[in-house]
Amino acid sequence: MGMGEAFATCMRKYADFTGRARRSEYWWFYLVQFLIQLPFSIVFTVFYMIWLASFMDVVGDGNSDPDWGAVNWSPLVIGWLVILLPALVFLLPNLAAMARRLHDMGQSGHWLWLTLVGFGIVPLIMCIMDGQAFENRWGPDPKAGERVGWGQRAVPPTAPPTAPPPPPTA
């Protein structure tokens, strides 16, 4: 799966937490999302520096009580709006793609709850691992056709075929 196809798939499945996602789908989406948010981060940094310069002019050397009303807060507010809007747009698709990626490895999407307590690196690292071969409870293997030739069979292992019964004798 290519970069454009992965991004389109993840945006099409905006809040779809069901099914499975290949590694390429998740990581291409992650890269495109990063590249889209990068200019917004640069703009935020510029606005933050403008605000910081005006703040330092008001605070001065810190020996006197600053006049907080003289601080120009608008660059800081504009900067935060610039960086928060794309982050909010990509929040649900990113979580949904990560949940589908975890499903591909046979794990529950509930691992994403770790991000709320500051351990979001755990599911992110889990997204590096290869997916489960064959169908699991979240759906069929998205790489089933590509696994042939890599030492794995294209179909799940089954019981060996039994020999047909001998013909009846007269």
The Cα 138–Cα 26 span in angstroms is: 16
Mean pLDDT in the chain?
Answer: 83
Tens digit of pLDDT at every position of the chain (170 positions):
788 898 999 899 989 899 899 889 999 999 999 999 999 999 999 999 988 888 887 776 666 676 667 777 888 888 899 999 999 999 999 999 999 999 998 888 888 898 888 888 888 888 888 888 888 888 888 877 676 655 555 555 555 566 677 778 76
12: helix, coil or strand?
Answer: helix
Nearest to 131 by CA among 141, 120, 122: 141
Nearest to 30 by CA among 133, 138, 127, 160: 127
